[in-house]
Structure 1
């Protein structure tokens, strides 16, 4: 059985990925390293910890802890590292950017250094893989037409996206300079279970249920390409198994929606469940608020490369 180290595996996408691997990929054992910051919750995987006792281990720790990284890598000798650990909320990056620099850039650099040392100590095995999970926000903002490809120049707008852009470049540099078998993936906006309720969809759902205001930035016409988190997890397994070291793969759901359209759809769907009608409908809760600084107008991923070269397709 192979061993996989997953960083940030108690967060939204990370915990869904760990769950997917444990349930669908019996050849892998998973070691989950997570600092359990505000958005991380080890309980996301409590139901699987007992069921997969022989294939799952949790380590509470920070990717900036050099000694801990060295100990885990020496003890576990993973065949793959899938790196999710990151600060990821744009609004928080505007209020406190240095936490994003420390985790997303410095933490990634420390993880890369530790992985390189382990990889070289083991004789540079060609089957080892390092997958860096990143975002389409590194590309900046699109106009009304066009899509991001893997060749789109980086043009980050926020401290968050700038920190992820920096980490992407570090991963590529470790591949080009040291030969580390690493790949970068850039995904569009994810939605699904276990998402922390500071993000648009879970925040809107909770506020609808409790009849709280539904804040929408600007005019609500900002466009995002939505990707169901399980599709993303399947894409990452595909990259792990079939991807070429040194390559970048865009992962998108091909489902563009304006923010206001998403909020209105959630209002209508939940109103059906909650029995709200007419003037009591949840759309009355929508409040347009001042736009966020550096708010990108539109994201849209071209995922042709991963579809064509690796055979992945979104199912949801």
Structure 2
């Protein structure tokens, strides 16, 4: 039997913090303990936020943590055509449609609906897309595309779920936010018609991650609990595209003093700042709740 394959897949849109350290160290430790392999993937599809200096900092931070990975490093920006092919395949199957509303327009539509009652929200707390784009005719869609109106390509969730057979689930070796483990039912419909690509970006996180994991032969996905319920969308895409199902291990998040998860956007203390301040690797492991190796 081939050895298990793990991966750490950060985005170079900011400096890594202790939350990333927990995930990277867990992947590294589990790979060593199982005689497996550890891959590093740079998820840089967001050209507006990803920067070379952040990518270089990732390499430096991981080396400081004592983490070794296999070369070459996969960079998503170098494989955009693969994602386009997957989008085209789903489109041919009638599972994707263009939606032309801006975020502000969607917020206004949802606000209007909420005046007369509750509106469903996804597991992250965001309002589910109202599905306006599904109501357009093919002629109306073509006219807007010719007029170069910006659009997002959304998965028709109802049609997609109808294409699957049996009950979707995944094998969880870690635990969800409420202790879910073992065989966990996937509920992709909770997310509504998720975005899989945009007019100027050939993929989204959901689509790129399942394609990359399959192509790289990843067998064990170790990541934070904030992505636990997103696994339902990933399992659906794996079924639609005929991709293998890995084993999942979701771990608890590292929280700040206010009980909020660490974030690049809120400028949580970066690993490079801890390193500059004299923090040791043993102290980092203690801070993220991982025993010294």
In the superposition, the TM-score normalised over structure 2's length comes to: 0.30
In the superposition, the TM-score normalised over structure 1's length comes to: 0.28
